[in-house]
């Protein structure tokens, strides 16, 4: 579950269960013996604007939410990694999102166009009880698959892919000597540094 807490009242204001959309996905045909990872939340990152956050989950999906007062709406969701998404991290002052996975990959996504598009053309979603259901085009998958609470990732395509090779335990986008870099910790005793020259 992902929760928005009121620290003054010491109780959650909003709760979403990431496994609800997974349960509906599993109702479709499955091959015998197929195992699915549950949608356990691994990492959350808040964008600099303060009202957009992302969540990386064990099911390999990245979900981006918008906080609107005491409510949250899922803006978009997409398959980010072949195994669990262990880390998500917005770069400062942008909607560029770094993700690291149990598949040993690090990916940079540009969510700016989708987040800005929805911000400029708001819908009256705050009064609905159930979120909108949509269809999702999965990467390299079935283009007609119905997926709950997810939209086509269309413009959300990877801007950078790094084959790190080890499960990513932690990552951070930061400037070192005036240049943007990615710091990565894995299961070894070393911190890896990858340059982000063009960003």
φ and ψ at residue 116, rounded to 5 degrees = -65, -40
Residue span of the structural domain in which 75 resides? 39-117+157-166
- The residue among 94, 89, 90 whose CA lies nearest residue 169 is 89
CB burial of residue 169 (10 Å; 0-12, 13-18, 19+): middle
Please tell me the total count of domains within the chain.
Answer: 1
Per cent of the chain over pLDDT 90 is 49
pTM of this prediction?
Answer: 0.73
Residue 149 resides in a domain: no
* Cα 191 to chain centroid, rounded: 23
Q: Give the domain CATH number at 79.
A: 2.40.10
φ and ψ at residue 82, rounded to 5 degrees = -75, -25
Residue 90 resides in a domain: yes
Residue 48 resides in a domain: yes
Average pLDDT over residues 90-117: 91
Residue 29 resides in a domain: no
- What pLDDT is stored for residue 156 in this prediction? 80
């Amino acid at each position: 579950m992902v929760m928005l807490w009121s620290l003054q009242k010491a109780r959650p204001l909003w709760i979403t269960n990431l496994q609800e959309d997974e349960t509906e996905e599993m109702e479709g045909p499955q091959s015998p013996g197929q195992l699915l990872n549950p949608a356990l939340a691994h990492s959350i990152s808040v964008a600099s604007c303060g009202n957009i956050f992302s969540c990386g989950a064990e099911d390999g999906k990245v979900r981006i939410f918008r906080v609107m007062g005491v409510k949250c709406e899922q803006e978009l969701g997409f398959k980010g990694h072949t195994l669990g998404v262990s880390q998500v991290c917005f770069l400062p002052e942008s909607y560029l999102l770094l993700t690291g996975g149990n598949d040993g990959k690090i990916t940079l996504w540009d969510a700016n166009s989708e987040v800005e598009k929805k911000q400029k053309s708001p819908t009256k979603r705050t009064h609905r009880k159930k979120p909108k259901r949509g269809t999702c085009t999965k990467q390299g998958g079935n283009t007609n698959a119905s997926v709950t609470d997810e939209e086509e990732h269309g413009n959300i395509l990877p801007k950078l892919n790094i084959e790190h090779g080890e499960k990513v335990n932690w990552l951070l986008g930061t400037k070192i000597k005036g240049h943007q870099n990615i710091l990565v910790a894995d299961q070894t005793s070393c911190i890896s540094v990858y340059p982000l020259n063009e960003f």
